């Protein structure tokens, strides 16, 4: 069922959008077991990423999306989504993220925590550093840009290895350093997209 919906969405997105993949050679050969950290611009971001990178995905989605209508709930669950209740203080989403990575899925996270209204890369929150540190998974930075006439640029960054994502439990600065590293990578990828667009 998952593969069917993924293929269906991939076909639809390649028909609807003109997708330009930058640095496609950076996509890992691994089928799963890693994290994708992407900027967040649209509800279309998860299937957009899945249309470019092959594998079985999982991602967090706000709880409200699971109560829109039964069909929509069925579709996002079939695509690997699980609910997150904002402000609940529940560690279940973090645990589920780690478990999905351990099962060989590609865990997609939008580390800014919300969609950007103006496209600016916001501050990366600590959740991604904790998930990476606990799972021992590498992180693939990905940056998206939607532009006129349904054009989408998808810039693939270089995989950040697990040894560069180790958290020191006695030093909070280690978490901040990881977050800054990811944020800097996303900003650089966005800058590269903008520069290519001007050529």
Query: pLDDT by residue (tens digit) across 43-89?
Result: 889 889 988 998 889 988 778 878 877 877 776 777 788 887 765 55
Given a contact cutoff of 8 angstroms between Cβ atoms, the answer to whether 154 and 49 are in contact is: yes
Domain carrying residue 59: 2-198
Q: What pLDDT shows up at residue 90? A: 61
Task: Give 35's pLDDT tier (boundaries 50, 70, 90).
Answer: very high
Q: What pLDDT shows up at residue 165? A: 94
Query: pLDDT by residue (tens digit) across 137-195?
Result: 999 999 999 998 899 999 999 999 999 999 887 788 999 999 999 999 999 999 999 98
Question: pTM for this structure?
Answer: 0.89
Strand 34-38 and strand 106-109: pairing?
Answer: parallel
User: What span, in angstroms and rounded, lies between the C-alpha atoms of 109 and 106?
Assistant: 10
Q: Which of 39, 20, 22, 26 is nearest to 192 (CA)?
A: 22
Task: Give 7's pLDDT tier (boundaries 50, 70, 90).
Answer: confident
- Interior angle at CA 126, CA 2 and CA 100, nearest 5: 25
For residues 100-128, average pLDDT: 93
More confident residue, 182 or 199: 182
Q: What pLDDT shows up at residue 152? A: 96
Given a contact cutoff of 8 angstroms between Cβ atoms, the answer to whether 83 and 62 are in contact is: yes
Give 109's strand partners: 37
Q: What pLDDT shows up at residue 84? A: 78
Phi then psi dihedrals of residue 190, to 5 deg: -65, -40
Number of structural domains the chain divides into? 1
């Amino acid at each position: 069922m998952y593969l069917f919906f993924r293929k269906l969405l991939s076909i639809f997105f390649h028909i609807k959008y003109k997708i330009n993949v930058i640095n496609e050679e950076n996509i890992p050969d691994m089928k799963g077991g890693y994290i994708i950290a992407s900027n967040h611009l649209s509800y279309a971001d998860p299937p957009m990423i899945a249309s470019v990178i092959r594998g079985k995905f999982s991602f967090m989605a706000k709880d409200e999306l699971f109560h829109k209508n039964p069909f929509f709930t069925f579709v996002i669950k079939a695509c690997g989504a699980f609910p997150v209740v904002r402000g609940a203080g529940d560690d279940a989403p973090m645990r589920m993220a780690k478990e999905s990575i351990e099962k060989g899925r590609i865990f997609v996270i939008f580390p800014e925590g919300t969609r950007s209204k103006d496209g600016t890369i916001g501050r990366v929150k600590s959740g991604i550093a904790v998930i990476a540190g606990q799972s021992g998974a590498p992180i693939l930075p990905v940056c998206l840009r939607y532009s006129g006439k349904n054009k989408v640029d998808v810039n693939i960054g270089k995989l950040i290895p697990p040894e560069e994502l180790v958290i020191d439990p006695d030093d909070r600065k280690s978490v901040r350093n990881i977050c800054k590293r990811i944020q800097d990578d996303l900003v650089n990828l966005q800058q590269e997209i903008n520069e290519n667009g001007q050529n």
